[in-house]
Amino acid sequence: MSFIDQATILCSAGSGGNGCVSFRREKCIPLGGPNGGDGGKGGSIILKVTHQTNSLASVQRLHHVRAKGGQNGLGSQKNGRAGEDTIIEVPQGTCVFDADAPDAPIIIDLCQMDQTYTIARGGEGGLGNIRFKSSTNRAPRKATKGDTGEELRIRLELRVLADVGLLGLPNAGKSSLLRKVSGATPKVANYAFTTTKPHVGVVHYHGYKSFVMADIPGLIKGAADGHGMGDRFLKHLMRCRVLLHVVDATLPIDEQIIVIEEEIRSYGHGLLEKPRCFALNKVDAVEDTEALLALFPEAKVFPISALSGQGVEALIDYLGEVCA
Of the three residues 101, 123, 158, the one that is the final residue of a domain is 158
Q: What pLDDT does residue 224 have?
A: 52
Indicate if 201 and 246 belong to the same structural domain: yes
Phi, psi dihedral angles at 314 (to 5 degrees): -65, -40
Last residue of a domain, one of 137, 158, 179: 158
- Which of helix, strand or coil describes residue 107? coil
Residue 262 lies in domain: 164-323
In a shared domain, residues 149 and 28: yes
pLDDT at 36: 95
Residue 57 shares a structural domain with residue 198 = no
| Cα separations in angstroms, 191 against 2, 144, 169, 222, 309 | 21, 67, 12, 19, 21
pLDDT averaged over the chain?
89
**Which residues are annotated binding-site positions for GTP?**
168-175, 215-218, 281-284, 305-307
What's residue 194's pLDDT? 57
Q: Which three-class secondary structure state does DSSP give residue 235?
A: helix
Residue 29 neighbours by CB under 8 Å, 6+ apart: none
Same structural domain, 302 and 253: yes
How many residues would you count in the chain? 324
Which residues carry a binding-site annotation? 168-175, 195, 215-218, 281-284, 305-307
Is the pLDDT higher at 229 or at 128?
128
Pick the more confident residue, 267 or 28.
267
Give the CA diameter of the chain.
108
User: What is the torsional sign of CA 162, 93, 113, 182?
Assistant: negative
Query: What pLDDT is attached to residue 83?
Result: 97
Tell me what the mean pLDDT of segment 282-311 comes to.
91
- Say yes or no to pLDDT of 222 above 70: no
Residue 180 and residue 72 in one domain: no
Q: What is the pLDDT of residue 1?
A: 46
For the cut 80, the answer to whether the pLDDT of residue 28 exceeds it is: no
The dihedral over CA atoms of 267, 241, 322, 246, expressed in degrees to the nearest 10, equals -40
Per-residue confidence (pLDDT) for residue 25, from 0 to 100: 81
- More confidently predicted of 58 and 148: 148
Whether residue 148 is found in the same domain as residue 169: no
pLDDT at 149: 97
**Which residue ranges are tagged as binding site for Mg(2+)?**
175, 195
Strand order in the sheet with 199-205: 199-205, 209-215, 164-167, 242-248, 276-281, 301-303
pLDDT for position 250: 92
Q: Select from 158, 189, 208 the last residue of a domain.
A: 158
Q: Are residues 145 and 1 in the same domain?
A: yes
Residues 129 and 37 in one domain: yes
pLDDT at 52 (0 to 100): 87
Q: What is the pLDDT of residue 230?
A: 52
Averaged pLDDT for residues 136-149:
94
Give the pLDDT score at 324. Answer: 80
Q: To 5 degrees, how large is the angle CA 267–CA 109–CA 163?
A: 65
Do 145 and 216 reside in the same domain of the chain?
no
Please write the tens of the pLDDT for every residue from 43-97.
999 999 998 888 898 898 899 999 999 999 999 999 999 999 999 999 999 999 9
199, 187 Cβ separation under 8 angstroms:
no
Quick one: angle between helices 174-181 and 312-323, nearest 10? 80
Q: Is residue 26 domain-shared with residue 96, that is, in the same domain?
A: yes
Alpha-carbon distance of 311 to 292, in angstroms, equals 15
pLDDT at res. 190: 60
Average pLDDT over residues 225-229: 53
pLDDT digits (tens, 9 = 90+) for 241-257: 999 999 999 999 988 89
CATH code for the domain in which residue 213 is found: 3.40.50.300
**What pLDDT is stored for residue 26 in this prediction?**
77
Quick one: pLDDT at residue 27? 77
DSSP 93: T
Q: What CATH number has the domain bearing residue 104?
A: 2.70.210.12
- Closest by Cα among 244, 251, 260 to 323: 244
Note whether 208 and 96 are same-domain residues: no
Rounded CA gap, 215 and 154, in Å?
27
pLDDT of residue 191: 53
Total count of domains within the chain: 2
Amino acid 32: pLDDT: 78
Residues 237 and 198 in one domain: yes
